[in-house]
Chain A
């Protein structure tokens, strides 16, 4: 298994190198590592797969925008991406300003405004693909359980592995952190775990169905954090709210100026905020580091054969190492998100203490 993982890691690195070389090196002549990294981790209206003989192989994704003036528009991003600043139906991709890289609407007075944009971008498409994978895997597993009865033998192979995986999260994380009524929350927490895990892992695969920076995107982690926020606070017990609004501290800390309640209320928001930032930053950083390491090869390419070769070896070795670490991080971050969510939910399920 270990050897397989290393081989997999090497293949990952080699594959990752391809598109970057093709897309950036040829255009400017000089490699801008920062540009490579940011280009990858940010969203795009097309999915650039590879370049072959100076021909870009890209998937053009649909742009769906709603303008206050002209209503809904839906067209292929190919119309906007043929050349710099091309306009189509009064829209173009901004090249500078606040909305750089985003679709903007050009008003009659020449002003650029941002329309309501729900385009299927690269990240959205990755998200869809990953959602299908998650649903597929779990429903495939569930189908076996639907057909079997309690006295049928335990599943083997992939389903057995999934059972072990699911039950590990359910028993070790959810049950132990929440306590007695964990059943109500376990579907959400398991969904969150597998959603994050699959998105993280898919983000590490550099070729088409994977490679999107989904969980390293603040909008994604924001939604997840909000879901946890709702799960924690909407179903909190009376004791939980009492501990926030009237905690057991000396009265002067809460009576004239509600100092402790203010801190506690602030804490309600900081907890999911920390969840959001942690997941985002970890995955974002992972993608950035791997890309930066890979970029070393192209940055040093112009520095002579000796440096270039030795740095390439260093880069590949580091990339392999980082990819292995990232596989671990992919799991750990999903695990940590689920565990902390469970802990917060568990804290909101407190029962009154009997003194």
Chain B
């Protein structure tokens, strides 16, 4: 049964050495390791939180960027539309203007033509009158070669004139 009786010498050495081992490891061993592991764990957790935040921020920035892009697109569309409208308006106005101007020019031309036509007519009339007078003169000159005829003529004319004044 000596196996079950603790030997005093061994007990003494065991107490001593286990005490030393415990003291050394509890002071310089395990707490350092566990503390550092704990700190690293916290650091990793912290880093994860930060990374998550950063991710969220990134997502926000992305969303913001997208919204800005969308807004810019909209703006572009709007501007393009406005530009199109403006162009159309300008073209329309220009057309209108051109039409008015054209009308004006046309009217002017017409008026000018009219006046020139009138001038021409007047001219022609005058020419005709001159010609008829000339012709009449020539006719008359031929007819009034004699004094008698001249007198007859004068008389008739006088008659005519007096008739006109009587009437």
Residues of A within 8 A of B (CB): 41-43, 64, 100, 116-121, 123-124, 127-128, 131, 134-135, 138-139, 141-142, 145-146, 148, 150-151, 154, 162-163, 166-167, 170, 186-188, 190-191, 194-195, 217-220, 222-224, 227, 284
Contacts and interface: CB of A to CB of B under 8 A. Distances in A.
Interface string B5-49: 111111111110110111011101111111111011011000000
Given A134-B25, A142-B28, A187-B30, A151 B36 contact: no
Q: Which 7 A-B pairs have the closest CB atoms?
A: A187-B26, A219-B6, A219-B10, A138-B29, A150-B43, A145-B36, A150-B39
The interface centre, meaning the residue of B4, B18, B39, B42 with most chain A CB atoms within 10 A of its CB, is B18
B13 A124 contact: yes
B164 interface: no
Nearest to B44: A150
A139 B28 contact: yes
A195 to B, nearest CB: 6
Contacts of A42: 2-3
A222 B6 contact: yes
A128 B12 CA distance: 13
15 contacts: A42-B3, A43-B7, A43-B10, A127-B17, A128-B13, A138-B29, A142-B32, A163-B37, A166-B30, A167-B37, A187-B22, A187-B30, A191-B29, A218-B6, A219-B14
Contacts of B9: 64, 116-119, 121, 124
Nearest to A154: B40
A164 to B, nearest CB: 10
Contact of A218 (B4, B26, B30, B37): B4
A146 B32 contact: yes
Contacts of A220: 10, 14
A222 B13 CA distance: 12
Contacts of B35: 145
Contacts of B26: 187-188, 191
Contacts of B14: 127, 219-220, 223
A224 B11 CA distance: 10
Interface residues of B, number: 36
Nearest to B15: A223
Contact of A127 (B4, B6, B13, B25): B13
Contacts of B29: 135, 138-139, 141-142, 187, 191
Given A127-B17, A188-B22, 17 more contacts: A117-B9, A119-B9, A124-B9, A131-B21, A134-B25, A135-B24, A141-B33, A145-B35, A154-B40, A163-B37, A166-B33, A187-B26, A187-B29, A187-B31, A218-B5, A220-B14, A223-B15
A228 to B, nearest CB: 12
Contacts of A217: 7, 10
B40 A150 contact: yes
B23 to A, nearest CB: 9
A43 to B, nearest CB: 6
B25 A135 contact: yes
A122 B136 CA distance: 177
A64 B16 CA distance: 15
Contacts of B7: 43, 117, 217, 219
Contacts of A187: 22, 25-26, 29-31
Interface in B109-156: none
B108 to A, nearest CB: 92
A117 B13 CA distance: 11
A41 B2 CA distance: 11
A118 B12 contact: yes
Nearest to B5: A218
Contact of A138 (B10, B13, B25): B25
Given A123-B10, A131-B20, A284-B3, A150 B42 contact: yes
Contacts of A142: 28-30, 32-33
Given A150-B40, A170-B34, A191 B22 contact: yes
